Amino acid sequence: MTADRLDAILLFAFVLPVIFRYKILPGEVTPYWLFGLLFAVLTINTALSFFRDGLKGFLKINYEKIRTVLTVSVVTAVIVGVMGGAIVDRGRIAPGQNFGVHDIILQLEAALTKLSDGVNPYDTTYFGTPLEDWHYDELGKPAVNPALYHFVMPPFYLVSAFPLRFISIRLFGFFDGRMPLLLAAVGLIAVLVFYFRKPELKRTAIIFTLLSPATIDFLIEGRSDMFALFFLVLSLYFLGKDRLIASVVVFALGMASKQTVWFALPAYIFLALHHTGYGKKFFVCTAVLTAVLAAVFFPFLAWNPGAFLDSVVFYLSGNTARGYPVSDWECCFTSSGCSVTSTSTIRFISGSCWWRFRQSQRRMHI
């Protein structure tokens, strides 16, 4: 089976479970016309992949461009339709409440409110907020959610939502913590379009990254992996274009968004050295990385160092009071104080870094 046929089949196989499981657009059910439109586009896309040579010669079409446009259109429509519909429904039925979202969304919304009121989100509890009503259990038994005592996410994930919260409340009357994730997902699609040169590889990367069963449910309920992944992939894209300062700034923002990206730092340094060497450029990039991280982390670290480290670092390894319950295989990833929250993100980090290294090696050889 050729690569272009494979990505067409993957698109069909990954889209169907999503549109059957989740509503697309706000309302009670997905409109029938939208089902029909998606099926029509998926069918056309698949037909083009199987009858490529005949259609290409007969219709005089730009085959790769049309296939890419169809794939990007379907993936974007599904992501925006499902997440946008869920956001609008929650804002209409239960704004700010426990309504089909992950606990990190409830905590982000509460933390933004606390920060707006001048309260340190890392030095407070979240009892009395919708997070307290979120169902939490350990080993199948109800328990007190340790997130009620700690805001776990690094500062940029928090402060970056402020502008969107400000605009959303004034335009729509509510804010949903998944709004930044939706923008990041759409942005990631755009980055992947330019990241890969081969059209079939581009389409496959978009399908696997956005619609994979390993990621789609987490994205829809509001887990933050896609937000950090956007910054990670964008930094690698800039690095491949030799836009070193832009790459370093974006990578630092990724590190300030989710602890998972911290594991990519050694690989990122390794790749950066192939572009900078050990000279002045490398030290400038190191200084920029340090400056950006300091600018984001220092205000909260200085506000209350103990509370900040407990929440952002030690909580995830279970090394603080009321920390996250870590056990078994997770311990091997948490000796540094951070747990691996998304194996799919780690795999993308490894694969992207290796692919980018191979590309740079080929250019050097040529």
Tens-digit pLDDT profile for residues 293-322: 999 999 999 999 999 999 999 887 776 777
* Stretch among 10-14, 29-33, 172-176 having the lowest mean pLDDT: 29-33
Mean pLDDT, residues 235-251 taken together: 94
Q: What percent of the chain has pLDDT over 70?
A: 85
- pLDDT for 275: 79
pLDDT of 350 > 90? The answer is no
Quote the DSSP letter at residue 137.
E
Give the containing element (helix H, strand E) for 347: helix 343-365
Instruction: Name residue 199's amino acid.
Output: P
Burial class of residue 215, CB neighbours in 10 A (0-12, 13-18, 19+): buried
Do 189 and 75 meet the contact criterion of CB atoms below 8 Å apart? yes
**Looking at residues 90-111, what average pLDDT do you find?**
89
Number of other CB atoms surrounding residue 203 within 10 Å = 29
Average pLDDT over residues 343-363: 52
For the segment 229-233, the average pLDDT, to the nearest whole number, is: 96
Query: 141 forms bridges with which residues in the sheet?
Result: 138
Looking at residues 5-22, what average pLDDT do you find? 92
108, 126 contact by CB (below 8 A): no
Structure tokens at 312: 């952002």
Query: What whole-number distance in Å separates Cα of residue 78 and Cα of residue 68?
Result: 15
User: pLDDT at position 290, please?
Assistant: 96
Asked if residue 65 has pLDDT above 70, the reply is yes
By residue count, the chain amounts to: 366
- 139 band by pLDDT with thresholds 50, 70 and 90: confident
Amino acid at residue number 62: N
Look at residues 264, 310, 299 and name the one whose alpha carbon lies nearest to residue 152: 310
pLDDT over 60 at 364, yes or no: no
Q: In Å, what is the CA distance from 222 to each residue of 149, 162, 252, 319?
A: 20, 17, 22, 26
* Cα–Cα distance for residue pair 274/92, rounded to 1 Å: 51
pLDDT at 355 over 70: no
Residue that wins the pLDDT comparison between 249 and 5: 249
Q: Residue 195 belongs to what H/E stretch? A: helix 179-195
Query: Minimum mean pLDDT among 69-73, 74-78, 137-141, 148-152: which range?
Result: 137-141
Helix H or strand E segment including 153: none
Residue 335 confidence class, pLDDT cut points 50, 70, 90? very low
Tell me, what's the pLDDT at 47? 87
pLDDT band of residue 354 (cuts 50, 70, 90) is: low
Mean pLDDT score, 219-245: 93
Q: Decide if 179 contacts 186 (C-beta within 8 A).
A: no
3-state helix, strand, coil in the chain (%, to 5): 70, 0, 25
Contact predicate 11/74, CB 8 Å: yes
Which residue reads 């209409």 in tokens?
A: 92
Most confident stretch, 29-43, 110-124, 345-359: 110-124
Q: Which of 62, 102, 64, 108 is nearest to 83 (CA)?
A: 102
CA distance 190 to 57: 30
**Structure tokens of 317?**
């390894």
In this structure, of 55-69, 73-87, 99-113, the range with the lowest mean pLDDT score is 55-69
Distances (CA, A) of 343 to 129, 228, 272, 287: 30, 13, 24, 30
| 363/193: higher pLDDT | 193
The dihedral built from the CA positions of residue 186, 187, 189 and 193, taken in this order, carries a sign that is positive
- Would you state the pLDDT for residue 256? 96
Query: Range with the lowest mean pLDDT among 86-95, 113-122, 132-141, 234-243?
Result: 132-141
Buried b (16+ CB within 10 A) or exposed e, 52-78: beebeeeeeeebbebbbebbbebbbbb
Q: What is the pLDDT of residue 151?
A: 93
85 has a pLDDT exceeding 90: yes
How is residue 118 written in tokens? 């001048």
Q: pLDDT band at 26, cuts 50/70/90?
A: confident
Query: How does DSSP assign 14-41, residue by residue?
Result: HHHHHHHHS-SSSSSS--HHHHHHHHHH
